[in-house]
Amino acid sequence: MLCVDVFTFQAIDGPVIGKVVASGNNKFVKGDLVLGVFTWAEYCFVKETTIMRKLEPSEFPLSYHLGVLGKLFINYMAHVGFFELCKPKRGEKVFVSAACGSIGSLVGQYAKLFGCYVVGCVGSQNKVAFLKDKLVFDDAFNYKEETDQSSTLRRYFPEGIDIYFDNVGGKMLEAVIDNMNTFGRVAVCGATSEYIDIRKRASLDLVNVIYKRIIIQGFLTPDLMIHHFQNFMIKTSNYLRTGELQVTEDISLGIESVPSAFVGLFNGNNIGKKIVRLVEEEE
């Protein structure tokens, strides 16, 4: 295999780009590049029922098919989550948590390109600088330096938040509800602050949810995939060609780096899409 997308719903399977070394299926021949959900390994046996497709050569680096152009699982979420669920209007105020992550960094950029005001929150000063200087977010802050997230958000959004793309859940979601405008929309894409400790779950102020008529919606990409994928691919490919969309990848090398890469996701170690490159091979 060539690359491993280090985000997975089971500890041992995940989106992978591999090269066929032998095939009993006449749709695939030795040397074909394939994108599928395989076991994290240097070699693996793939059953016929596995979700997988042949990867045709493209103008973009191979790893983009796990990230910014990825159809499998999470990356396409940025686009559908933002445009289909959040239904943005130009000029609206958008807040993105885990804004340096693979999804957050794309959501923020799509929102900027669309004409929204965008602020991201991240866990280090380094990442704040990255969002403001490299990804041209309107503003960004390090939540670890703040004691009261609700008053912090009030500072960054004096006119309130219209859209929240939530990757973390927990206290930050509570603070967002405090600062949300009427008819605010929350797309719940992840809840990293709650994955390990359920005591950190968001305690929602439902009275605010009612009076502000807020919509909170969880989603997974596959539901929204078929209808919008073509539009997503055309738009995103064009943005990549013109350089309007910045791709951020955090690539580590070798099968031995998979566990630390996976654990690092939950500690916020990565900037951009976390990928493990298993083999140094010419693309």
Q: Is 227 in the site for a second copy (CB under 8 A)?
A: no
Q: Is 81 in the site for a second copy (CB under 8 A)?
A: no
Rule CB under 8 A: choose which of 16, 214, 258, 261 binds a second copy.
214
Token pair 């997308």: residue: 5
| Four-CA torsion 274, 278, 279, 282, nearest 10 degrees | -30
DSSP class of 131: I
Closer residue to a second copy in complex, CB, 43/211: 211
Structure tokens at 78: 């940025």
Q: How far apart are CA 27 and CA 30, in angstroms?
A: 10
Closer residue to a second copy in complex, CB, 216/240: 216
Taking CB under 8 A as the binding criterion, the range among 14-22, 54-62, 97-105, 219-227 that sits at the site for a second copy is 219-227
Q: Is 175 in the site for a second copy (CB under 8 A)?
A: no
Residues 152-171 that bind a second copy (CB under 8 A): 166, 169
34 Cα distance to chain centroid: 22
CB of 161 to a second copy, least distance (A): 15
How long, in residues, is the chain? 283
Q: Is 106 in the site for a second copy (CB under 8 A)?
A: no
The answer to whether the CB of 281 falls within 8 A of the CB of 256 is no
Closer residue to a second copy in complex, CB, 18/104: 104
Q: Is 229 in the site for a second copy (CB under 8 A)?
A: no
At residue 272, what are phi and psi to the nearest 5 degrees? 85, -170
Cα dihedral sign, 171-113-265-167:
positive
Q: Is 89 in the site for a second copy (CB under 8 A)?
A: no
User: Which residues make up the interface to a second copy (CB under 8 A)?
Assistant: 166, 169, 173, 188-191, 194-195, 198, 201-220, 223
